[in-house]
Amino acid sequence: MAPLKIEPLQIDDLEEFIRLYWTAFNPLEADMILPMIYPSGLQPDLLERLKKRVLGETDGKLSDFCFCARDTQSDEMVAVSWWAFVKHPAKTQIEIDAEWEQANAARNGGTSVAGINSALGEAYLRAAVYSEYDTMRGQPYMSLRLLVTLPTHHRRGAGSLLLHHGLEKADSQRLPVYLTAGVHGRPLYERFGFTVTSDCPFDGRQWGGRSEGKHWCMLRPVQS
């Protein structure tokens, strides 16, 4: 097995970053939300929307928040992570309501996407935003927005490498880490000290999705 290297994501690699996580999320057994929201697949209009979303939510600073693991022999991107530092989280119901409205407008604005299940996307975003607020309750924290490995490279250490890399940053700043985990990610996160705080209150089947899309809210406390 070839060694892996971690690199900050560069703008020229953003499309590859998106294609990788779409490939990982798309299989039915992965039970993920994204393919339910966009059942027509990763068409050009969706690719452009997702690129704008990543750039918008990172304020254009990809290399500060997004990372990739590459095979050192082939230089293939085999896993990616996306982190966020939440320094000023919502502390009141009014603040979280405003945050939800802003997030929903940002996700659904811009280029139209054919075949989108907008109702399902809005329902999941609402569940995710309010679950995060209910867990963190105003304390600063680090959030893992995304961690995926190509299906062909599962169990080769790429996901663990990226996770350890991000957790070191959180520990250096003495921050707890929050995430929502799918069925494949939860065992890895539990090995790294995360515990389930609640189920994410969402069932994709209620909104025309192909499956439940089971996710759990998970928290790793501040490490000494």
* In the chain, domain spans: 4-220
| pLDDT tens-digit readout, 117-160 | 999 999 999 999 999 999 999 999 999 999 999 988 888 889 99
Structure tokens belonging to residue 68: 């990739």
Mean pLDDT in residue range 77-93: 95
| pLDDT tens-digit readout, 198-208 | 999 999 999 99
Distance CA 1, CA 150 (A): 15
3-state helix, strand, coil in the chain (%, to 5): 45, 20, 35
DSSP structure class, residue 221: P
84 beta partners? 143
CATH 3.40.190.10 fits 4-220, yes or no: no
Structure tokens belonging to residue 133: 């607020």
15 — pLDDT class (breaks 50, 70, 90) = very high
The pTM of this model reads 0.94
Q: What is the pLDDT of residue 133?
A: 96
| pLDDT tens-digit readout, 97-116 | 999 999 988 887 766 788 99
| Percent of the chain whose pLDDT exceeds 70 | 98
Cβ-contact 98, 130 below 8 angstroms: no
